[in-house]
Each structure stands twice: as C-alpha cells, then as structure tokens.
Amino acid sequence: MPPPSTVMDITFHRNSLIHLLSQVNPFWIQFFYFLSSSITGFLLLKLLPTRDATSRPTNVDLLFMSVSANTVSSMDTMEMEVLSNYQLAVLTLLMVIGGEVFISMLSVHFTKINSQMSDSALDAAGMELATLSDQSRSLDLKFSSRKHLFFVVLGYLLVGHVAGFLLILVYLRLVPEAGAVLERKGINASQFSIFITVSTFANCGFVPTNENMVVFRTYSGLLLILTVQVLVGNTLYASCLWGVIWLLKKLTKQREYDYLLSNYGEMECNHLLPGSHALYLALTVAGLVLAQFGLFCCMEWTSEILSGLSTYQKVVGVVFQCVNSRYAGETIVDLSAVAPAILVLFVVMMYIPPYTCFLPRKGDKQLLRGRERSRKKQGLSLIFSPLSYIAIFTIIACITERRQISEDPINFSVLNIVVEVVRVSAENIGPKAAMACLIKLYGVALFIHSSLLSACLVESLFSLSLSLSLSLVDFL
C-alpha cells in the first residue's frame, strides 16, 4: 500500500491536470484525442501483419482506415478481408473509443470531476459564511447525480455491446447458413460478432467482409438485430438514455435519478434531454425512416436490387437500408444501382444532425432559449426550410426524369438537376441562402459518381470544394 503522501501527490497532480484541461477549449481536447488515437492505431496497423503476406496496404490506406474507424466515418480504401484478426481487433478498439456513447461517458466523467473541484471551493466559501448546511446537501445531491449518470452511461455501453454480441453469435449458431458464409471467407464467428456489434453500435459501418452486408441480405434476423444496434447507438441514444433513467427511477426510487430527469440542464450532458424532447425525437427518427421506406418501396420494390427476396425479406432489408442511411453506412444493395431520387434523399438524411426534432417542444423554455414563437410557426419553420424545399423538388425532378437520367446521364445528371433547382430557388430565397443549400447538396454528385474516382480523391475534391464554397458564401 503506497504511503499517504504519495496518494496525496497523485491526487494533487490529477486534479491539477483536470483543472488545466477544463481551461482549454473543448475543440482542442477532442482534436488531440482523436489525433493521438488515430496515429496510434495507424502505427499498430502498420506493425501487425495482414492476412495475406503478399498484399501489403500502403501507409496512406492504413492511416485512412485508422482515422475512419476512430472517427466512425464509414469510409474505407481497401478490402476488409485483407486485414488480419489482430488488425481487425485494432479497428474494433478504435471504433469503441471513437463512438458517440463512449465519448459522452468520458465527457460526463470529466465534468463530474471538474464539478467536484468547483463544488469543493464553494463549500469552503460556504463554511466562512456559515451557510454550509443547505448548500452542502444540494451540492452532494448534484455530485451524486453526476456519478449515477456516469454509471448509467457505462452500463448502457456495456449492455449494448454484450447483448449485441451474444444475439449475433447465437443467431449465427442457430442459422447455419449464415455461419457458412463466414466459414467460406475464413472469418471467425466470434470475432465477426464482436466487430460488427462495435461497428454498428458506433455507427461506423465497417463490416469484415468485402461485400459489406450484401452477403447477409437474406438473413432478416441478423438485419433486425443490427437495425436496433444502429438506432440505440446514435439517433435514439438520447431517447433510450432518458428511458433507462426513468426506469431506474421507478425501480430504485433513488432521488438521484429524479434529479437527473428534473435538472437535465445542470448535468452539462448534451445527450440528457427532457421527457417531451426525448419522445418527439423518437417520433422524428421513426418519421424519417418511414419517409425513406415509402420512397424506396415505391421506386425499387420490383427492381433488380431486391430480386430474389421474399416480401418479408424485402421489408426488413429496406428498413435496414433506411436506418443505415443517416450515419452507419452498412448496406445490403449496390448503391450505384439505386434510383437517383433515393440517393438524393439519402444524402439529405446524412446531412440532418442526429438529434434533429421536427416537432415543437411546447413549454420547454430552456430548449427554446427564450424564443417566443407559436406552435404552428415553429413547426413550419423547422419543416419548410430552404434546404427542405430544394431537397424535395430535387427528389421530385429525379423521379419525373428517371427515364432520361438512365438514358442520357450526361445531360440529365443529378448534379445538373441540383444546380437548376438551386438556380430557380435563388430568385426567391436569395443568392446567399441558395449557395449555402448548394453546398449542402453538393455531395450528391460526388456520392453518385464516386465510382469514377478513387475514394481519397473524391474526399479531397469535396473538402476543397466545400472550403471554397464556404468562403464564397461568407463573401456574399
């Protein structure tokens, strides 16, 4: 057991480091966190051998894969089956520490420690003013609530991964045909279950097969498990977190959980929302998936990309595809064969932030931040923005001109349609707003024509074009 002086020194240095980090802009903390972990991942990927000794990826490919896994960006520049089991383990670890739930757990932990240090100073001031009793009890409850929130998020993370891993592994055992797919590729079922669970929960989209999830398109049970993983790991994380805290409050009757639900703003956690907001968020996510499902079924139900599937398999497959369109990136179809109108809708879904709520939150002054707007006006402003108009009419144009797009892709490309829609919209919404909307939809052309260029070149062109366009918007 270390002497008390050593323990005090360690505590002092730890508190000093945390106090120093609290004074730094959070952007730089996250920047160096992802930079250091990505470089470490790249070095490990470079040192570890690949599955096939004759095919050695370049340093650029390995660095890109490390950054993509750590930032859960769903992009790869090499075949996944080239990577060895050790390299897949490195990517798994990178996806864990870069996932939204894990990052939020770290944020809650550091906020808890920083708050404890600040509250200690307030305690000292309270003792001098002889008002320690009530203030101390309030601070203790607040700190205890932060501590409970940390363990709730930690439990959420562990249960999500363990449950997903066990369900997928059991499914592969119960459905030998699905396990046979992995055996033919030489992939271990347990490692596949761990990797796909972590990747799906973090909404990274990496799959240890070269064909992504296309080889599992007929296994609806597996797709349903992964669909739930995608939702609870990102877009429905805040709603599920509120539901878990509410359930713990009912079961344990502890006042900390009631404090979390009533004083969510004081916890400084962006994922902790009020009950009404959490409910409307869940409804919004369901509505967006339903809109994509309807368009996808109307345009592709009898197409070749869904051929060979039963009605039930088509429904599950389309739901899986629509849920993955926002952030996860897993797919069961060849996206190059999907109708342009659906691709435009998918691009819009990628742009929408994860906690977008299209339904007004009545009476929530903290979330509205003092903006006095009617329920009807607020809902209309959220739904009918300039970007919404342009996206809707672009999709309609892609639907009506579907035959011309397939027969004459040069004159009837999606890029031309987007430009024309924005040009007409500029007369009503102004050039600056139109240019901003064009920037947001500029990725459509690169997304559809990415097969003509390498992935790295596409990303570089898009980043350069985006930077130049943003500068132009600021100038206008």
Taking a C-beta distance cutoff of 8 angstroms, is the pair 440, 473 a contact?
A: no
Give me the half-sphere count of Cα atoms (radius 13 Å) on the Cβ side of residue 350. 19
Considering the domain boundaries, does residue 87 fall inside one? no
Query: Does residue 130 come out as left (phi exceeding 0), alpha (psi in the -120 to 50 range) or beta?
Result: left
Q: Domain range holding 441?
A: 384-476
Length, in residues, of the chain = 476
Measured in degrees and rounded to the nearest 5, phi and psi for residue 361 equal -110, 95
Considering the domain boundaries, does residue 217 fall inside one? no
One-character DSSP codes across 434-471: HHHHHHHHTHHHHHHSGGGS-HHHHHHHHHHHHHHHHH
Considering the domain boundaries, does residue 68 fall inside one? no
Q: What token pair was written down for 122?
A: 């307030």
Burial (Cβ within 10 Å: 0-12, 13-18, ≥19) of residue 313? middle
Considering the domain boundaries, does residue 156 fall inside one? no
- Taking the C-alpha atoms of residue 208 and residue 89, their distance in angstroms, rounded to an integer, is 11
Q: What token pair was written down for 303?
A: 């197409």
pLDDT computed for residue 382 by the predictor: 45
Residue among 174, 169, 171, 209 at smallest CA distance from 189: 169
Taking a C-beta distance cutoff of 8 angstroms, is the pair 68, 75 a contact?
A: yes
Give me the half-sphere count of Cα atoms (radius 13 Å) on the Cβ side of residue 365. 1
Q: Is 188 helix (H, G, I), strand (E, B) or coil?
A: coil
Q: What token pair was written down for 147?
A: 């501590």
pLDDT computed for residue 213 by the predictor: 94
Considering the domain boundaries, does residue 430 fall inside one? yes
Considering the domain boundaries, does residue 180 fall inside one? no
Torsional sign, CA 98, 99, 100, 101:
negative
- Taking the C-alpha atoms of residue 459 and residue 368, their distance in angstroms, rounded to an integer, is 36
SS3 string, 246-279, reads HHHHHHHCCHHHHHHHHCHHHHCCCCCCCHHHHH
Q: What token pair was written down for 183?
A: 């055996």
465 Cβ partners below 8 Å, 6+ apart? 442
Please count the helices (runs of H) and the strands (runs of E) in the chain.
22, 0
Structure pTM?
A: 0.78
For the segment 367-425, what is each residue's pLDDT rounded down to a tens digit? 444 444 444 444 444 445 566 666 777 777 777 777 777 766 666 666 666 666 665 55
Measured in degrees and rounded to the nearest 5, phi and psi for residue 403 equal -70, -40
Residue among 110, 108, 140 at smallest CA distance from 123: 140
- Taking the C-alpha atoms of residue 265 and residue 110, their distance in angstroms, rounded to an integer, is 16
pLDDT computed for residue 416 by the predictor: 67
For the segment 297-334, what is each residue's pLDDT rounded down to a tens digit? 999 999 899 999 999 999 999 999 999 988 888 999 98
pLDDT computed for residue 31 by the predictor: 85
pLDDT computed for residue 200 by the predictor: 96
Identity of the residue numbered 116? Q
Residues of the chain with pLDDT under 50: 7, 126-130, 361, 363-383, 432, 439-476
Give me the half-sphere count of Cα atoms (radius 13 Å) on the Cβ side of residue 22. 17
Considering the domain boundaries, does residue 316 fall inside one? no
- Taking the C-alpha atoms of residue 442 and residue 444, their distance in angstroms, rounded to an integer, is 5
Considering the domain boundaries, does residue 454 fall inside one? yes
For residue 19, what are the CA distances in angstroms to 24, 27, 297?
9, 16, 54
> In total, how many domains does the chain have?
1
Instruction: Look up residue 53 and give its DSSP letter.
Output: T
